[in-house]
Chains A and B, each alone.
Chain A
Amino acid sequence: MRIKTPVYLTFGTALCLYLAAAGRNGYSLVKTFSPSRLLPHSPATQHK
């Protein structure tokens, strides 16, 4: 069988693999770039 859409095949496979990984690790497509930072002087440290 000839695959006429190799790019789509690759894309779909990658997307399915991503969903499987996201299902396990709680990734989100929407929040792929959700903000995070390190907090050297956070108030949290003051309350520890």
Chain B
Amino acid sequence: MYTRAYDCPNCGSAVAFPSGIAVFAVCGFCRSNVIRRDADAVLEQLGRQAQLPPDLSPLQIGTSGVYTCHHFTVTGRIRVGYTQGSWNEWLIEFGEDRWGWIAEAQGFYAASFEIPPPPDLPERGALTLGATLRIGEVEYRIKDIKTTEVLGSEGTLPVVAVPGRTAVSVDLGGPDRQFANLEFSDTGTRVFVGHTLTFDELEFSELRPLPGWTTDRLEKETTGSDALNCPACGAAIELRAAGQSMRALCGHCGSLLDTSHPRLRIIEQAIASEPRLIIPMGRRGRFDGVEYACIGFVRRRDAEGYSWQEYLLFNPFAGFRWLVTYDGHWSWVAMLPEEPRKVDDLPAHDGRGYRLFSSGSATVTEVWGEFYWAVRIGERTLVSDFIAPPFVLSQEHYPDLTEETWSHGRYLEPGVVFSAFGLTGIPKERTGTYLNQPNPHVEKGRTLRWLMPVFGIAWLLISLISAGTKDQDRAFRESFSVDLTGTNKTHVSAPFRIGGTHPQALQIDLHTPVDESWVELDVDLVNTKTKEVRELSLAAEYWSGVDDGEAWSEGSRQAGELVPAVEPGEYRLVMDVDGSPGLGRAEFLVEVTRDVMVWSNVILGLAALLAYPVFRWIREHAFERERWSVSDHSPYTPISSGWGSGYDDD
């Protein structure tokens, strides 16, 4: 392995250049910037740099990892700052003079490799946020443009990275987590391409011990590496995300401090007092198997006056997460390393399409704790929320920063949050329907959406088979003429036979030529053997006339009744006949048809099968209607009901 050591031009200590690509090193003893001008090892000292500020990065010089099945070792670092934050650029070497960079910021990692600038690369001034740019075969979108400054460096590097060196950095995102960076500086234009990765994907080893996270917490107290004092009141400031936080509130005097440098600086004095926090600062909770510390709190308010709270969580390996709460509802939110792909102008993520729910501006009204960006009260963000409950995609555009971020959230039951952080008390009762609150009726509705057709088809098939196999035989037909003026109005039919081998439905019909009169039969269907009687009543009436020159009629000269489940056998009809006063004689015909289809079963059964799905559908849509009632993009027609109990979530 190539390793050459030289004497530091300043202090004479050994300065190692472990690879042929290294042209710059920082003397580990006196912090001199040492430049190797050529292979003959003509060294030059270019000033000294201060110790890099402490941070909670899990990487260090000597950390090894794997990228696309190739092992690498971290050999150098540049700490890069910009107006709103800072990040680490770690030099990774694969051996045989192959090298690249891993950018580490807020728990995100991007491995990139330098390529020659394309000949058609636009000038810096022609690049605008959101514009697309093709590099090679990949079309990227510009995510971020910022002026950067080298804050410090360590190890050996293939570039001269003295503090104060400035450049314009343009970050680009492509499909499938592809990443590119353009760097414009006085030494020329450099182009890097690669991928964004997770901490686990890089399979790091030889990581740096992190007090309080990978080692005993006692070590944290004794090292005191991240214990600082407020320049306004002198109170101790404990940074929980040292090296990654840009702003912190002094817990004693409420001053907003710049924490991007070891020497804290006052941004604004006494601007805040400790708010009523649901999750105390520093409290740790475990989500998805990862422990996070609550390090910051922000309250935002939109143009309509709705206010919600956001708790910033930190884990040095996983980065930052948010817990957002409004009116008792909670969401777990993580920033996305890349913009979601678009389908019909709407974002899609993890195979799910999202619908625009709301868009507008949000303003920071309250802050507490520490933050990885230069937060300030009054900071305005343009926010668009897209939902696919229980998930939400939020697009945040920072007009002041020419920066756009996307984050992905999922709805949490309040009890989950309280349990994870060991919070005492009862979670605030939820009010209204939140934008990504899961519809409790959807799961049942999903089952019904396939179960209902299954039953419907079964119902139809059974009905068709049943109707197709009916005999529908005439079992009895007889005409009667009954004197209604006599005392005996009971008539008994001749016996008739109901055939078949199993119980069946009978249809008994009455036909009578009544006119301006009625005939009624109280019928007993009598089984001559078992003496079982089935009772029914048949009535027919017919009325007609002319009113105002218009003919009318009502009633019917026939009536029918179904008698279910009649056993085969011999039967008679015993009929009590009655009719209109003055009718004299009742002339009528009675017909009995055996083994008829009971169509009412088909109709009623279908109604019974539909009733529950329809009920669930109404509930499901009522929930969705309430959810969308506060959206400007509701697919439903507006209704008058409001959302929540009030504007402020206190």
Contacts and interface: CB of A to CB of B under 8 A. Distances in A.
Interface of A: 2-5, 8-9, 11-13, 15-16, 18-20, 22-32, 34-40, 42-45, 47-48
B646 interface: no
A24 B466 contact: yes
A29 B601 contact: yes
A35 B601 contact: no
Given A29-B605, A31-B562, A44-B572, A23 B533 contact: no
B605 A31 contact: no
A27 to B, nearest CB: 5
B564 A19 contact: no
B503 interface: yes
Contacts of A20: 462, 466
A47 B503 CA distance: 25
Contact of A27 (B492, B531, B598, B612): B598
A9 B444 CA distance: 11
A11 B565 contact: no
A29 B572 contact: no
A12 B469 CA distance: 23
A6 to B, nearest CB: 9
Interface string B595-615: 111101110110011001100
A42 B574 contact: yes
Chain B interface, >50% SS class = mixed
10 contacts: A8-B451, A15-B455, A15-B605, A22-B466, A24-B502, A31-B562, A34-B536, A35-B535, A37-B533, A44-B492
A46 to B, nearest CB: 8
Interface string B419-452: 0000000000000000000000001101110010
Contacts of B605: 15, 18-19, 29
A26 B535 contact: no
Interface in B451-492: 451, 455, 458-459, 462-463, 465-467, 469, 490, 492
Contact of A5 (B451, B528, B532): B451
Most buried by B among A3, A31, A45: A31
Contacts of A4: 443-444, 446-447
A12 B609 contact: yes
Interface in B594-649: 595-598, 600-602, 604-605, 608-609, 612-613
